[in-house]
Structure 1
Amino acid sequence: MIPYVRREKIMDELENKKIMYIEDFLKIFVGVSESTIRRDLKTLEDENYIVLLRGGAVKLKLDAYEIPVGTKKLLFKEDKEKIAKYAASLVEDEEVIYIDSGTTCSAMVKYIKAKGVRVVTSNIQVLNEINGNGIESCIIVGGEVNKSLDSISGPMTDASLRNMNFDRSFLGTSGFGLEVGINTPDFREASKKTIVNSNSNRCYVLADSSKFNKSTLCKAFELKECTLITNKQIPSFDGTVEYYVAE
């Protein structure tokens, strides 16, 4: 296994378990030496993705806050691509859509096949994904740029979005569940999501199953107020929750 793939797997494991030990990784990577694992962990720490603790423990950096885009790109990539592709298939010709911040939301752009689509976004990454597909125009709302999230938010952003209406919106989230709703650690991101949800004919939230029942500081709205797109069946959901499974 090449080092990059091994480090990607380490990030996946940490996203699920939050804190792990070097001994745990030795069980996962059979035949890989402890010194190699330590080098991988040191590399991830130097890249500001993880924190090495005493006693051989490891955790994701900023796990109580919004995870930076650079870290998110390493997590659950296959699941996110499936969700993004499914979300893109819902877009119809000549619709006005909103695309939120987040790696899964930005990934859906390249899969849009509909023609004459107008995009409004607060996601800086979206510009990098538009490449000769059916998107007629793209509007980036003004506001304060959060470099770690590649996101635009704040009072100016909210003021712009309040005056816009969308056929469909596609939002990201840090956590979702019946009790925790759709949530994010950032007040500005939560405000933005609340406004967009209210101004959309259909609101979709794109979230892989690792975010199920994860709770962060700010609830933007209730889960039943949107349609969830995820990668696994969630048996505990009752008939009040509408969701699709991207397979």
Structure 2
Amino acid sequence: MLVAERHRRIVELVNERSSIRVTELSDIFGVTEETIRRDLEKLEKEHFLMRTHGGAVSLAEDHEETSYIEREITNSNEKRAIALEALHYIEPGDQIVLDASTTAWYMAKELPDMPLTVLTNSIKVAIELSKKGQIRVISTGGSLLSQSLSYVGPLAERSLSMYHVNKAFLSCNGIHLESGLSDLNEMQALVKKKMIDIADETVLVADSSKFGVRSFSQISSLSSVDYIITDTRVDENIKKALKEKSIKMTIAK
């Protein structure tokens, strides 16, 4: 494959997936990771994409949510592993909040039926938990986003403000060492910020593709996060930086 053709395909892949890793591109094109890094550097200078720690993200102006169907199949193995690890942080009698992320849905599917109160803005999470008799489920209500089957807006935010929880479990589209947590959708970002505000502890459940990414809407700084649960592909430099910030990280196997 000619270099120009490889560059064209790299841009297409980044725009299709929103973000992609150097290791993935190296495997796809059968070239070294160093070659891919040089490709990304050139493409960034030409304003086709933006480099991140370990990969690149799209510069396409699309702030719409990814559909829940697409999110379910993206990095699904990693999300399941993260969800299972997150269950170790939940004890009988806890009051928790789950966002509308796919990882939260996996948590809801795997949660044992035990005395628990769960507050959520996700229809899919609420449906999963409705099958478990000992779990009390509270839905925020609000304006429905059909892409993610979740509630957002002023009503959802006011509903969350009425409660206090022990732990918040949430994900996001971007985790950046300087700018913190961010999301593609502004209304989702505001709801997630409110979830953090009402919780004693915040557990970020996010696969490694989210690191180094800056999305459209700011949620909060990294200082608002108490624990991060991610997968084995997270970059060693990210681990070191988070340790320096005194943020605890668990790697889901």
Superposed pair shares fold, TM > 0.5: yes
User: What is the SS of the residue equivalent to 1:108?
Assistant: helix
Q: How does 1:99-110 map to 2 (within 5 A)?
A: 99-110=98-109
> What corresponds to 1:138 in structure 2?
137
Equivalent pairs counted in the alignment come to: 202
CA shift in 2, pair 1:100/1:160, >3 Å: same
Q: Distance in 2 between matches of 1:114 and 1:144?
A: 29
> What corresponds to 2:163 in structure 1?
164
The superposition leaves residues 109-161 of structure 1 with CA deviations (integer Å, 9 ceiling, x where unpaired) of 12223721011100111133226547421111110000101110000111111
> What corresponds to 2:191 in structure 1?
192
User: What is the SS of the residue equivalent to 2:204?
Assistant: strand
> What corresponds to 2:42 in structure 1?
none
Long gaps (5+) in structure 2: 1-12, 22-26, 31-57
> What corresponds to 1:238 in structure 2?
243
Higher-helix-fraction structure: 2
CA contact (8 A) 2:118 2:136 kept: yes
How much has 1:66 moved relative to structure 2?
2.6
Amino acid aligned to 2:78: D
TM-score (norm 2): 0.71
Identical counterparts, % of pairs: 23
How much has 1:62 moved relative to structure 2?
8.0
Amino acid aligned to 1:168: K
> What corresponds to 2:214 in structure 1?
215
Q: Distance in 1 between matches of 2:243 and 2:167?
A: 24
CA contact (8 A) 1:224 1:242 kept: no
CA shift in 2, pair 1:204/1:157, >3 Å: same
How much has 1:87 moved relative to structure 2?
1.0
CA shift in 2, pair 1:16/1:157, >3 Å: closer
> What corresponds to 1:88 in structure 2?
87
User: What is the SS of the residue equivalent to 1:188?
Assistant: helix
The superposition leaves residues 22-65 of structure 1 with CA deviations (integer Å, 9 ceiling, x where unpaired) of xx9697xxxxxxxxxxxxxxxxxxxxxxxxxxxxxxx9x98654
Q: How does 1:1-247 map to 2 (within 5 A)?
A: 14=17, 16-17=19-20, 64-113=63-112, 115-130=114-129, 132-133=131-132, 135-226=134-225, 227-232=227-232, 233=234, 234-240=239-245, 241-247=247-253
Long gaps (5+) in structure 1: 1-9, 19-23, 28-58
> What corresponds to 1:3 in structure 2?
none
CA shift in 2, pair 1:237/1:26, >3 Å: closer
CA RMSD of aligned residues (A): 2.8
> What corresponds to 1:7 in structure 2?
none
